[in-house]
Amino acid sequence: MSQARQQLAEQLAEAVFQALHEDLNRQERVLLVVSGGSTPVPFFKALAAKSLPWERIDVTLADERWVDEQSSDSNAKLVREHLLQGEAAAATFIPLTCRAATPEEGVDEVAKQVESLAWPASVVILGMGGDGHTASLFPDSPELTLALATDEPLVAVRTPSQSQPRITFSADRLHQARRHFLHITGDDKRAVLAKALNGDDVRQLPIRAFLTCPLAIYWAP
């Protein structure tokens, strides 16, 4: 782990801590939506170390791979192992999978699971892949078209074909948040992020769908 990425994770954890704390001063419960992948792990650990009324915090994922929670590909596994530790284990975590064999079969059940959460989210944290995808909204995909247009909360995803089937919140649902943070690492993503910030097409760079929100970008090489 580079020092720059560790410092970035700690800075983001402090900003998210302040945001949750602020909202907890005015409402009973708050919702934190996090992303998976490799970038968030040091952030999860830094946030888990913060002293918060975790029993009043709901946590869910922006997207998930449709795999068993024991799989190393599971985002829920990452959250349980690195965020929901210590005092943070008292948070209410709602995963984005269920017993259905496919995301298409499970999407309605998962939608019921997440309806009880404290929407609008206090914080949504998104990552970005080197192709400009965010959550599981992949460039030029049929699911992206649906996810940008639907007011349904969740979309089943089969693209890109080489990755596992996935499920993702729609753009409409991910927009239902007071604050958005982008947490991005990798020198290779600097050019993609710059392109997205300079107004490229949302179909080519789905992250663009969230650059209209008030948001903070946390990036390190």
Binding site for ligand 6PG (CB under 6 A): 35-39, 62-63, 75, 127-129, 133-135
Q: Which is nearer to ligand 6PG, 8 or 52 (CB)?
A: 8
Q: Which is nearer to ligand 6PG, 29 or 80 (CB)?
A: 80
Alpha-carbon gap, residue 85 to 103, rounded angstroms:
28
Q: Which is nearer to ligand 6PG, 52 or 78 (CB)?
A: 78
Cβ at position 150, least distance to ligand 6PG in Å: 19
Cβ at position 181, least distance to ligand 6PG in Å: 12
Alpha-carbon gap, residue 148 to 186, rounded angstroms:
26
Phi, psi of 180 (to 5 degrees): -120, 135
Strands 177-185 and 215-220, by their bridges, are: parallel
Cβ at position 73, least distance to ligand 6PG in Å: 9
Alpha-carbon gap, residue 189 to 49, rounded angstroms:
28
3-state secondary structure at position 210: helix
Q: Which is nearer to ligand 6PG, 25 or 162 (CB)?
A: 162
Residue whose Cβ sits closest to ligand 6PG = 127
CB 40 within 8 A of CB 183: yes
